[in-house]
């Protein structure tokens, strides 16, 4: 794992809870995508239960343990409801 | 015409025909006026568009591998959609009807399970609610794939 700058996008309920559609973030320690979500839960005071969230990096669904790399675009996917 | 489309205007199902297709099955998903006992006046669909198009395209490719179908077309609305309007349209063309029925159902099941599109309901009193987020939580089925 490495450290560096990443881009995060928020959609739907997460956009409302964070109050923004996205942000850039430096991560000083190597981290996984689920650990990053936990960091953001602390920052924003809750967000959605991680059990409800799917993780997406660079337009691909990934596992919660997926390591974040510098330059990644991370999206946390709330429960989907198309159709 | 793209096989997968996210549209902000009324869905207009394509008028396609294929000489080998003896069957064409379509599914229309419409906005209904009641959900969970609440009166819904309209919905807002939001998508992570780049991934939604990729996932819908993957679903088309997967479905064509699983079932011997000739063509698949999917349109999904984005933005505000009124009660009675089409929210989604799926059409499947095949040689015989059974494969078209089965493939059409498969496309819809996959779409509802994994395509990053979200639905916000607006009720008679003006309140808004993100389906699956604001009501009783349900476990997501999306996993790394």
Question: Residues A12-25: pLDDT tens digits?
Answer: 999 999 999 999 99
Would the CB atoms of B130 and A78 count as touching at under 8 Å?
yes
| pTM assigned to the model | 0.91
A59 and B CB contact within 8 Å = yes
Chain A residue closest to B117 (CA)?
Answer: A82
pLDDT at B136 over 50: no
What pLDDT sits at residue A16? 94
- Residues B55-84: what's their mean pLDDT? 97
What is the DSSP code (8-state) at residue A14? H
Residue whose C-alpha is closest to residue A22's, from A73, A82, A69, A80:
A73
What pLDDT sits at residue B135? 59
- The H or E element spanning position A43 is helix A33-44
What pLDDT sits at residue B28? 98
pLDDT at A61 over 80: yes
Interface of A with B in 14-53 (CB under 8 A): 16, 48-49, 51-53
Chain B residue closest to A79 (CA)?
Answer: B132
- Residues B11-26: what's their mean pLDDT? 96
Look up residue A58 and give its two tokens.
């660079």
| pLDDT tens digits for range B83-133 | 999 999 999 999 999 999 999 999 999 999 999 999 999 999 999 999 988
The Cα of B10 is separated from the nearest Cα of chain A by a number of Å equal to: 15
Residue B138: pLDDT band with limits 50, 70, 90: very low
Would the CB atoms of B119 and A82 count as touching at under 8 Å?
yes
Q: How far apart are CA B46 and CA B144, in angstroms?
A: 22
Q: What is the Cβ-side half-sphere exposure of residue B105, based on CA atoms within 13 angstroms?
A: 5
Average pLDDT, chain B: 92
Q: How far apart are CA A57 and CA A66, in angstroms?
A: 9
What pLDDT sits at residue B1? 72
Residue whose C-alpha is closest to residue B26's, from B112, B107, B81:
B107
């Amino acid at each position: 794992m490495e450290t560096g700058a990443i881009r995060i996008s928020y959609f739907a309920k997460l956009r409302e809870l964070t109050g923004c559609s996205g942000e850039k973030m430096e991560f000083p320690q190597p981290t996984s995508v689920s650990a990053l979500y936990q960091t953001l839960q602390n920052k924003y005071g809750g967000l959605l239960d991680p059990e409800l969230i799917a993780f997406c990096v660079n337009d691909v669904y990934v596992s919660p343990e997926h390591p974040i790399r510098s330059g990644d675009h991370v999206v946390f996917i709330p429960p989907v409801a198309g159709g | 015409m793209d096989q997968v489309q996210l549209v902000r205007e009324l869905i207009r199902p394509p008028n396609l025909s294929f000489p080998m297709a003896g069957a064409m099955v379509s599914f229309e998903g419409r906005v209904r006026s009641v959900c969970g006992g609440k009166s819904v006046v309209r919905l807002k669909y939001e998508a992570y568009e780049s991934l939604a198009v990729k996932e819908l395209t993957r679903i088309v490719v997967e479905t064509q591998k699983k079932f011997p179908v000739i063509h698949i077309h999917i349109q999904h609305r984005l933005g505000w959609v009124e009660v009675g309007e089409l929210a989604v349209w799926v059409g499947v063309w095949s040689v015989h009807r059974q494969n078209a029925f089965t493939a059409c159902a498969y496309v819809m099941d996959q779409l509802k399970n994994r395509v990053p599109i979200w639905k916000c309901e607006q009720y008679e009193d003006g309140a808004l609610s993100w389906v699956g987020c604001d009501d009783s939580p349900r476990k997501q089925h999306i996993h790394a794939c």
